[in-house]
Amino acid sequence: MRMSKLFARTLREAPAEAEIASHQLLLRAAYIRKVMAGAYTWLPLGWRTLRKVEQIVREEMNASDAQEVRMPIILPAEPWKITGRWQTYGDLMFKLKDRHDRELGLGPTHEEVVTPLVAGEFTSYRDLPVNLYQIEWKYRDEFRPRFGLLRGREFLMKDAYSFDRDEDGMRASYDVMFEAYKRVFDRCGLRYRIVEADPGQIGGDVNHEFIAIAEVGEDQFVYCDNCDYAADLEAASARAPEAAPLTDLEAPAEVATPGRSSIDAVSTLLRRQPAEMLKCMLYDAGGETVAVLIPGDREVNEEKVGRVMWPAPVRPFSDEDFEHRGIVKGYAGPQGLSEDVTIIADHSVRAGKNWITGANEADYHVTGVSQGRDFRVDRWEDVSQVREGDPCPVCGGRLILSRGMVVGHIYQLGARYSKPLKATFVDEDGTEQPFQMGCYGIGVDRIVAAAAEQFNDETGLMWPKALAPYDAIVVPTNMDQPAVVEAGERLYGDLQDQGVDVVLDDREVTAGVKFADADLIGYPVQVVVGKRGIESGTLDLKARATGQREQAPLDDAVTAAQHLLATVP
């Protein structure tokens, strides 16, 4: 490809709305262009990189015996209503009506399509297992699309779905995908961690996220500095502390805390640590009252509360709830809560006693409150948000907080979809059984963004070789010198003949502009032909990622370029 023809105009400045490096650089280097909020056109350079990721994903899926199919983007509403996701996705799903007034949705994922499909074809346990995948654009009507490709409304996903006759089979299919995912992200050159994750809107039990590490990532996770444990913040747990012996109990005593309803305000007033206070948080779980107890220096993880109370939907008390149920907002304590309130205590509450907590009376707290004597606990659960420094649940090591972008997410779904959709097969014993399913997503365009985020410097992109749109660029620096132009053309031809994907910067612009664009676009290898080099029979090579520079004889240029290309990551 010749730069003079390439549909790519680099930008000196990124639009102000581009907040993170990947978004800025993919715009500046002419990989993508915005069409509207959360929807982009992929320009030739970006499209080549995206297709390279797609091909890596496809190869690893095929190598894992997954079979490629392609399902529609426009989908009938009915199966989504049966599984309940038409409702739970709500506004996040693009919905429309066709000319005959039938309700359609744009697929955000395809469990509701693939499950009836498999049930229609594979009817016997002998047919199983099977794993189908597609690489297709998906749709979510995000409230606030941002960060370029990271939170778009149209995004390219690889989604795979495994169907097994039993849970052992499902776990085996899951493990095959787990390994395939590692190969995909390794081949893409990403720095990533595999974490235990929250199942979110997809459902199911076991699931893992593959998170590309990035400071600007929207997804927080923890990992252990001592062992392999890692989990996203919504799913992470810390080792429960030892229970404190319930001895040396103080007597409860009311203290006036006028106008102080926050942990900070009370602890300041009483000159006590937040950790000595007991927060009592109130929730409505499908009409029932739930009180969650947690030390004052910790936060409740509401996803965990949601899982504990599942399938009841959980929401924090509103002002009306406090009023109607006779609990004093800001001064709630567990002592004396009626029997119809479910009291859940985080495991960390076992480590304390003589708590300071609300007096269930405006402007008063109580000190010296202890579990057992002063309040009951109906359920001990892990409902706290993990913090950096918490002990690892596996080995007790120190948990480190980190950020990243989820690029892959795999789920053991069990019968979450096959049951409501009545997708069954005939088992060996003649009984109808629901398929045991797994589902497996990769954010194909997110990998591009994650790689751009991980591999850049102040001058531009530094693609891993596997993802670069081209392997190399030939830069003739003096276009007014026929010998330079000719050497550039020859080298361009020779490299193409050797199967190197190469660009020739044949534009009539200064060497400075060419170098800046080459650095910005991020070709792994730059081959520079200049006037002085022609005179001395040499050319210059630069590896973009390492900055390594070499000189090579002009006659040996192709070999030198190939050699340098072979050494870059």
How far apart CA 34 and CA 43 sit, in angstroms, is 11
**Identity of the residue, 137 or 322, whose beta carbon is nearer to its own copies in the bound complex:** 137
With CA atoms as reference, report the closest residue to 320 among 373, 369, 282: 282
**Identity of the residue, 162 or 371, whose beta carbon is nearer to its own copies in the bound complex:** 162
**Identity of the residue, 76 or 330, whose beta carbon is nearer to its own copies in the bound complex:** 76
**Identity of the residue, 153 or 514, whose beta carbon is nearer to its own copies in the bound complex:** 153
Q: How far is the CB of 516 from its own copies (least distance, A)?
A: 18
How far apart CA 550 and CA 166 sit, in angstroms, is 58
Question: E strand or H helix at 133, and its extent?
Answer: strand 130-139
**Identity of the residue, 96 or 251, whose beta carbon is nearer to its own copies in the bound complex:** 96
Site of interaction with its own copies (CB under 8 A): 5-9, 30, 33, 35-36, 39-44, 47, 50, 65, 67-76, 91, 94-96, 98-99, 102, 104, 106, 113, 117-118, 120-122, 130, 132, 137, 139, 141, 143, 153-154
Note whether 135 and 445 are within 8 A (CB): no
DSSP of 410-476: EEEEETTTTTTTT-EEE-TTS-EEE-EEEEEEEEHHHHHHHHHHHSEETTEE---TTT-SSSEEEEE
Residue matched to tokens 């190197």: 500
Note whether 557 and 565 are within 8 A (CB): no
Question: E strand or H helix at 85, and its extent?
Answer: helix 85-89
Q: How far is the CB of 150 from its own copies (least distance, A)?
A: 16
**Identity of the residue, 5 or 81, whose beta carbon is nearer to its own copies in the bound complex:** 5
Q: How far is the CB of 508 from its own copies (least distance, A)?
A: 9
Note whether 298 and 348 are within 8 A (CB): yes
**Identity of the residue, 99 or 271, whose beta carbon is nearer to its own copies in the bound complex:** 99
Q: How far is the CB of 214 from its own copies (least distance, A)?
A: 24
Beta strands 219-224; 230-232: pairing state: antiparallel
Q: How far is the CB of 520 from its own copies (least distance, A)?
A: 15
Q: Is 70 exposed, middle or buried (0-12, 13-18, 19+ CB in 10 A)?
A: exposed
Angstrom distances, CA of residue 99 to CA of 74, 94, 102, 148, 279: 14, 17, 7, 33, 55
**Identity of the residue, 147 or 375, whose beta carbon is nearer to its own copies in the bound complex:** 147
**Identity of the residue, 95 or 182, whose beta carbon is nearer to its own copies in the bound complex:** 95
How far apart CA 154 and CA 152 sit, in angstroms, is 5
Q: How far is the CB of 105 from its own copies (least distance, A)?
A: 10
> Which residues are CB-neighbours of 160 under 8 A, at least 6 positions away?
61, 66, 131, 132, 133, 177, 439, 440, 441
Note whether 443 and 547 are within 8 A (CB): no
**Identity of the residue, 7 or 458, whose beta carbon is nearer to its own copies in the bound complex:** 7
Residue matched to tokens 């003096």: 478
Q: How far is the CB of 4 from its own copies (least distance, A)?
A: 9
How far apart CA 472 and CA 528 sit, in angstroms, is 11
Q: How far is the CB of 444 from its own copies (least distance, A)?
A: 12
**Identity of the residue, 117 or 466, whose beta carbon is nearer to its own copies in the bound complex:** 117
Q: How far is the CB of 7 from its own copies (least distance, A)?
A: 5
Q: What SS3 class is residue 284?
A: strand
**Identity of the residue, 324 or 422, whose beta carbon is nearer to its own copies in the bound complex:** 422
User: What is the identity of the amino acid at 17?
Assistant: E
With CA atoms as reference, report the closest residue to 63 among 17, 111, 131: 131
Q: What SS3 class is residue 488?
A: helix
> Which residues are CB-neighbours of 76 under 8 A, at least 6 positions away?
102, 103, 104
Q: How far is the CB of 40 from its own copies (least distance, A)?
A: 7
**Identity of the residue, 43 or 447, whose beta carbon is nearer to its own copies in the bound complex:** 43
How far apart CA 527 and CA 312 sit, in angstroms, is 63
Q: How far is the CB of 103 from its own copies (least distance, A)?
A: 11
**Identity of the residue, 7 or 319, whose beta carbon is nearer to its own copies in the bound complex:** 7
How far apart CA 227 and CA 383 sit, in angstroms, is 23
Note whether 28 and 40 are within 8 A (CB): no
Q: How far is the CB of 237 from its own copies (least distance, A)?
A: 34
- Four-CA torsion 285, 290, 293, 294, nearest 10 degrees: 10
Q: How far is the CB of 521 from its own copies (least distance, A)?
A: 15
Angstrom distances, CA of residue 290 to CA of 280, 312, 337, 344, 373: 10, 11, 10, 7, 20
Q: How far is the CB of 341 from its own copies (least distance, A)?
A: 36
